[in-house]
Amino acid sequence: MAAYQPLHQHSQKPSSRYGSVSLGLRTVLAWLLSALLGLALLHLLRCSHCGARERAMVSPLLQYITSTYSQVSTMYGCDYSEGQWVRAPGHARRYNGTECNVKGSENCIRNGRPDTGYLDWRWQPSAAGCHLPSFDAAWFLAAVRGKHVAFLGDSMARNQAESLVCLLGASFPYRMVYQDPEPGTRKFWRWAFPSHNVTVSVYWAPFLARATGKSENYSEPYSSVYLDALAERWSADADTMDVAVVSTGH
Ligand SMILES: *[C@@H]1O[C@H](CO)[C@@H](O)[C@H](O)[C@H]1NC(C)=O
Ligand SMILES: *[C@@H]1O[C@H](CO)[C@@H](O)[C@H](O)[C@H]1NC(C)=O
Ligand SMILES: *[C@@H]1O[C@H](CO)[C@@H](O)[C@H](O)[C@H]1NC(C)=O
């Protein structure tokens, strides 16, 4: 176990003040944690031996990704990370953020933002002939039929989960299955799309490892991160997840 001073909320630089653990031990613990997380994620992907059952399970999603992105990418040598935003009126207006219940403080329209031009952009890859296909809710849901798609991380993961639910929910009925009881917190939410028996969840786990303090309650001065344990909630559900998206912005 080790405690460490958290990153400043908007800083990329770790604080120079650490707990009492020596640098050598911290390094070893960090490596152990990386190895543990790597193993856990490999387990999630269930592909270490890739039997027929596992292949059958992940192949529709891989096929979706391949046919939507990679094929185009190999055909035209597309690098989707190189490009620019271009104005495309109506393009991004694929859902109504009020109806799909995005976090109140992040709902620009409900909070009275009068202009809407910020909704009208799409990403144009630089390479000639490259086009990023629009999101297709029916195609996506068919690819993850019967599966549990989980987002793990901080507010970045939450934004991604909420955006996905909004995109899917604009075309297919869905219901909230679970939300944390404390008002205002969005640490563990789960939605169901009964038409395709698909579950989408978001797990608040900014460090992936178990953490207490600031990461759970912003009024606290710092976080304590336990490098020898995964965060309880997502790790308890890990073997129910078919697809895990790990993303953090801190
Ligand atoms: C979005 O949904 C809300 C609530 O149903 C509704 O009042 C509003 O008019 C909708 N906005 C648009 C642009 O459709
Ligand atoms: C829905 O998916 C779960 C696996 O996530 C599966 O166990 C269950 O049988 C499925 N239900 C239906 C009605 O297909
Ligand atoms: C959050 O931390 C503050 C400061 O320690 C404390 O007063 C408050 O009760 C905590 N809130 C919750 C929900 O635990």
Instruction: Indicate the number of domains in the chain.
Output: 1
pLDDT of residue 36: 41
Mutate to test the pocket of ligand 2, among 61, 177, 197 (most ligand atoms within 8 A of CB): 197
Give the domain range for residue 25: 11-247
Q: How far is the CA of 96 from the centre of ligand 1 (A)?
A: 6
* Ligand with an atom nearest the CA of residue 222: 3
DSSP 14-45: PPS-B-SS-HHHHHHHHHHHHHHHHHHHHHHH
> Has this prediction a pTM greater than 0.75?
no
pLDDT of residue 164: 95
Question: Does a structural domain hold residue 2?
Answer: no
Question: Does a structural domain hold residue 223?
Answer: yes
Q: What is the position in ligand 2's atom list of the atom closest to the CA of 146?
A: 2
Question: Does a structural domain hold residue 5?
Answer: no
- Nearest-Å Rg of the Cα atoms of the chain is 20
Question: Does a structural domain hold residue 176?
Answer: yes
| Residues sharing a CB contact under 8 Å with residue 142, sequence separation 6 or more, in sequence order | 60, 64, 196
Question: Does a structural domain hold residue 4?
Answer: no
Question: Does a structural domain hold residue 198?
Answer: yes
User: Residue 17: is its pLDDT beyond 90?
Assistant: no
> Which amino acid belongs to residue 95?
Y
| Residue pLDDT, tens place only, 181-198 | 887 778 899 999 999 999
pLDDT of residue 55: 54
User: Residue 230: is its pLDDT beyond 60?
Assistant: yes
Question: Would you call 77 exposed, middle or buried from its count of C-beta atoms within 10 A (0-12, 13-18, 19+)?
Answer: exposed
CA 161/CA 218 separation, integer angstroms: 22
Instruction: Grade residue 6 by pLDDT with cuts at 50, 70 and 90.
Output: very low
Question: Does a structural domain hold residue 3?
Answer: no
Question: Does a structural domain hold residue 1?
Answer: no
